[in-house]
Structure 1
Amino acid sequence: MHIHFTIEDQDRIEGTGPIQVGWFLTDDKVAILYEPPYCMRSQSQTKHAKSASRCPAVLQLESRYFVINCPFDFHLRFDRDSKGKPTLINVLGEASPVRSNKLRELLTLVNENEWRTPNVPILQLKLPYCFIADEVVYITQLDAFGHYRKNPLPGTIFGGRFPIHIWPRPLMWAFEWHDTSKDLILKRGEPLFYCQFDGVDPSRTIKLIQAEKTPELMHYMEQISGVVNYVSQTFSLFGEVEKVRPQSLLTNIKK
């Protein structure tokens, strides 16, 4: 029996060449609304050789950040109802491109007793983006610090870091609303957050590819998807999860 290895397979086995990171959408129903992740690139108005956008250190940094754009237009206001319960107001009302019932499915105010800081609400936006890898890779989700906003957000991104080679799960945009006197306005097509990927060797670059949702991958995700609802320290389960992980998660989607 002959086993055929591609150059990319050989690079992965030897730990050389670019690190392959796969991405896919867990829900394809409205896939057209969710733009593919793309590599961060600073904008420059000059072609001068000494321009900051051509600095090797800047290029090295930007090559490691991938951008997720906001899929919808949001204009939200924080309030409390007559009983003092936190609530969201859709300021756009009937003009909102997202129907109210769908908005409630996408956006969630975390229970007040779970806020990290009193009077600082945490808002979560569900997203279908998922990343995987077949070697040790950690994803770090963080604020889009390179994107200038004329009207700054009234709070901060609630980021996180986890291993995508054993813990593939859809991402979520989490926001801590520090100044609730100001509305939260998000525009479709603007950077929502960045993803940074780190492997064992920091000198290796990242190659992002669209991944196929194979039966093995989806079954594996089903096995681990509900764990967060029953166990508080999910990272403690990584050893057990690795025992049921398929040999390979990442298959390049066929165009």
Structure 2
Amino acid sequence: MQVNISYERPETGPASGPITVGWFRSSDKNAVLYDPPQRLQSRDMSKTHAKSASRCPAVIHMESRYFVFPCPFDLHLGFARSKDGKPAFVNRAGNASPIRTAKLNEVLVMVNEAEWRYPDRPTIQLVLPYTFIADEPVYVTQLGAFAHYRREPLPGTIFGGRFPINLWPRPLMWAFEWHEPERDIILKRGEPLFYCQFEANGPDRPVQLVEVERTPELENYVEAIGGAVNYVNQTFSLFKAAEALRPERLVVPKGRP
């Protein structure tokens, strides 16, 4: 039996045109530190030659599908254990650190050792306010900043993830698995911290990322699903229930009615 598979999408209707992805900060606290995400671009590469890689349509198309999230802080972290053996991070910058240690503890979390994937690889989480929403099925994938060169590579890997933002608008975290805890983690404000890619029902659809209003409807929906991860192991099992609670429209671009 021959099966015909079509990769075409309709020219009109909800599955046509650009994918509109809304982003917002889950909190206004210190919002000035969290710069808007930017599309990945090879701005500093030479384009003088017609055959330059920076002119290549494949490269341009690939870059257009990733968005860069800059690091909000300068951080220099070491790993240690307390007198009772509990894992902890150390603010290596000490008094020279631009972020106070007390404030650092508000945005940086050492994951409980029992929850590490490997017993010799500590996991830390940097709490971030970036949250996404869409009015059609769209998945976000969070991944490392693979196109950013570091003279001193990070001593581990980022914990990526993928989930549907139309049903599960929750703030992202930068989760890091510390493969070499004997080596320090050094992050610079403004450097790429991670990338995000968005997928809908067609690989050819461009993505339009817009900042949206935190309307009462959006706030209520986010609150309805926000704490579920603390009570349920498999949150993906809640997607049908979340869909039943969801208003039809949640994406309201800033400055538009």
Q: TM-score over 0.5 for the alignment?
A: yes
Q: Which residue of 2 aligns with 1:76?
A: 77
Residue 93 of structure 1 and its aligned partner are, at CA, apart by 1.2
Indicate the percent of aligned positions where both proteins have the same amino acid: 60
Distance 2:14 2:109 in 1: 44
Residue 12 of structure 1 and its aligned partner are, at CA, apart by 8.0
Q: TM-score scaled by structure 1?
A: 0.94
Q: TM-score scaled by structure 2?
A: 0.93
Provide the secondary structure at the position in 2 that maps to 1:17. coil
User: 4+ residue stretches of structure 1 with deviation over 4 A?
Assistant: none
Distance 1:204 1:183 in 2: 41
Residue 49 of structure 1 and its aligned partner are, at CA, apart by 1.5
| Alignment size in residue pairs | 246
Residue 187 of structure 1 and its aligned partner are, at CA, apart by 0.2
Distance 1:13 1:135 in 2: 12
Q: Which residue of 1 aligns with 2:51?
A: 50
Q: Which residue of 2 aligns with 1:4?
A: none
Q: Which residue of 2 aligns with 1:198?
A: 199
Q: Which amino acid aligns with 1:234?
A: T
Would you say the 8 A contact 2:47–2:55 is kept in 1? no
Distance 2:120 2:141 in 1: 26
* Unpaired stretches in structure 2, ≥5 consecutive residues: 1-10
Provide the secondary structure at the position in 2 that maps to 1:243. helix
Would you say the 8 A contact 1:12–1:19 is kept in 2? no
Would you say the 8 A contact 2:24–2:212 is kept in 1? yes
Q: What does the per-residue CA deviation read over 1:84-131, in whole Å, with 9 as the maximum and x for residues that have no partner?
A: 111111011122111111111110111111100111000100000011
C-alpha distance 83-217 of structure 1, shift in aligned 2 (>3 A): same
Correspondences of 1:45-194 after superposition (within 5 Å): 45-194=46-195
RMSD: 1.4
Would you say the 8 A contact 2:46–2:54 is kept in 1? no
Provide the secondary structure at the position in 2 that maps to 1:14. coil
Would you say the 8 A contact 1:12–1:135 is kept in 2? no
Q: Which residue of 2 aligns with 1:26?
A: 26
Q: What does the per-residue CA deviation read over 1:2-30, in whole Å, with 9 as the maximum and x for residues that have no partner?
A: xxxxxxxxx88431111000111111121
C-alpha distance 12-217 of structure 1, shift in aligned 2 (>3 A): farther
* Unpaired stretches in structure 1, ≥5 consecutive residues: 1-10
